[in-house]
């Protein structure tokens, strides 16, 4: 499935250029991907689209007390909130992946609403527990679903293979 997602990201990096899922499925079949991989990717992408569309961001300024109170009652996270991971998330994602998510959060490039979608889509990935390379693809796809491109340094971090780096 992740090979299909990489293909979609590389060929439709402008999310609005991506065709509807049925047409995308036909294009992926024509390219030569296996039917099972395409179906899994399309189901996963449908969940991503639904999550991205249902996420609405409203950050009130500090003078809007009514909006701040409404956001607190709706459970919208503040920048001071702490995310506790369930045992299932810890087991499926592992310390390395969760540490990477935390790194991106503390670097200020993965806001809470995007983090939650990353975690949701990582848990929705079928098969074995999600490895760090697959998690990076998921993060890129979440950015893609919002029509955003991470800045150059983060994009380099997400696309770089850490095993071939040379330590200085």
* Residue 129 DSSP code: P
C-alpha torsion 29→30→33→38, nearest 10: -20
First-last CA distance in the chain: 35
Helix axes 132-145, 112-124, angle to 10 degrees: 120
Give the pLDDT confidence score for residue 40 in this predicted structure.
93
pLDDT (tens digit per residue) in 92-106: 999 999 999 999 998
Confidence of residue 130 (pLDDT cuts 50, 70, 90): confident
* Threshold 0.85, pTM exceeds: no
Higher-pLDDT residue of 61, 133:
133
- Of the candidates 127, 122, 161, 168, the one whose C-alpha atom is nearest the C-alpha of residue 142 is 122
Higher pLDDT, residue 68 or 34:
34
Q: Averaged over 135-146, what is the pLDDT?
A: 90
Residue-level pLDDT at 78: 64
79: Cβ contacts below 8 Å, ≥ 6 apart: 112
Whose structure tokens read 């009130």? 60
pLDDT at 96: 93
SS3 of 167, please? coil
| Axis-axis angle for helices 35-54, 112-124 (nearest 10) | 150
């Amino acid at each position: 499935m992740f090979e299909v997602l990489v293909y979609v990201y590389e060929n439709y990096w402008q999310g609005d250029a991506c065709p509807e899922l049925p047409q995308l499925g036909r294009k992926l079949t024509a390219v030569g991907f296996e039917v099972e991989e395409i179906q899994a990717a399309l189901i996963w992408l449908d969940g991503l689209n639904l999550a991205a569309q249902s996420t609405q961001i409203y950050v009130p300024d500090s003078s809007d007390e009514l909006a701040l109170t409404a956001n607190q009652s709706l459970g919208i996270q503040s920048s001071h909130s702490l995310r506790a991971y369930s045992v299932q998330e810890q087991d499926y994602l592992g310390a390395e992946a969760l540490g990477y998510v935390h790194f991106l959060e503390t670097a200020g490039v993965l806001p809470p609403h995007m983090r939650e979608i990353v975690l949701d889509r990582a848990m929705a990935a079928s098969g074995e527990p999600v490895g760090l390379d697959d998690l990076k693809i998921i993060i890129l796809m979440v950015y893609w679903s919002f029509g955003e491109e991470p800045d150059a340094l983060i994009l380099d971090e997400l696309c770089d293979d850490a095993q071939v780096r040379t330590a200085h």
